[in-house]
Amino acid sequence: METTLTTTTDKQIKLADKKILCNDIKFPWEYNPHKIRLFVIGNEYGPLGALWASNEQKALDELVDQGLGNALLIDEKDATEETPRLGNASEPACLDYVWIAEVRLDEKEDLKLLVTFAKARGSLADTLEY
């Protein structure tokens, strides 16, 4: 199945449920000192995945660690000192065409999505495809 995510700029992005991670779900009304929020990340070919993180760098790292960011990785022989490195393994990546957007989670407008995440968190699911 697919889920439609609405960014904070009101752009609608459709993404397969298996590419939406439930790694650290935080609802808008919960105590959230690290400001963890839902990000969707993509490149020129479309969205790669969505996950929960406290900032864009951590979101990119987690995307690679979870195997959803393989399209961003380059061969080590093509890397230079300035090449960004992502994930726990510090793999070289090309971020030339990467985009990151924060997903809107409004309690009134996005209730269906919030309920879906609540069910996923309750069942300890890894993704929305549970």
The pLDDT score that the predictor gives to residue 79 is 86
Q: Give the percent of the chain with pLDDT over 90.
A: 94
Select from 33, 35, 42 the least CA-distant residue to 15. Answer: 42
62 three-class SS: helix
Cα separation, 128 vs 117, in Å, equals: 7
Cα separations in angstroms, 59 against 78, 97, 107, 111: 24, 16, 23, 24
Q: Which band of pLDDT confidence, cut at 50, 70 and 90, is reported for residue 130?
A: confident
3: which strand partners? 15
93: which strand partners? 73
> pLDDT by residue (tens digit) across 37-54?
999 999 999 999 999 999
Q: Which residues contact 90 (CB under 8 A, 6 or more apart)?
A: none
> pLDDT by residue (tens digit) across 84-127?
999 999 999 999 999 999 999 998 899 999 999 999 999 999 99
**What residue ranges do the domains of the chain occupy?**
2-122
Q: Which band of pLDDT confidence, cut at 50, 70 and 90, is reported for residue 73?
A: very high
Work out the average pLDDT over 71-88: 93
pTM: 0.92
Q: Give the percent of the chain with pLDDT over 70.
A: 100
Cα separations in angstroms, 121 against 3, 4, 37, 100, 128: 16, 18, 15, 23, 9
Extract the tokens encoding 115. Answer: 């309920």
Helix residue ranges, H only, 37-110 = 56-65
